[in-house]
Amino acid sequence: MVRAYVLLKAEVGEAATLAETSRSIDAVETAHVIAGDWDVIVEIEAPEVYDVLSTTATEMQDLSNVLDTKTYVSIDEE
């Protein structure tokens, strides 16, 4: 399994809605509103790196209120 963390930038006032909506995506394990330069952090778990990238590039970027994303793939094994 591949684990990744995706940072999302939301439209003003939409961070909580975006976190809630992103939780409905199958690969998403958790989603939290955060403080700082980004608005939401999402943890994804998928069988392959391609699946992580596909989830981010299609499903997450297609959500309303998403202005930008940044994906970090974990390289350590649990």
**Short-list 20, 18, 6, CA closest to 54:** 6
Give the model confidence (pLDDT) of 9-66 as tens digits.
Answer: 999 999 999 999 999 999 999 999 999 999 999 999 999 999 999 999 999 989 989 9
Tell me the three-class secondary structure of the chain, residue by residue: CEEEEEEEEECCCCHHHHHHHHCCCCCEEEEEECCCCCCEEEEEEECCHHHHHHHHHHHHCCCCCEEEEEEEECCCCC
Q: What is the mean pLDDT of the chain?
A: 94
Give the model confidence (pLDDT) of 51-68 as tens digits.
Answer: 999 999 999 989 989 999
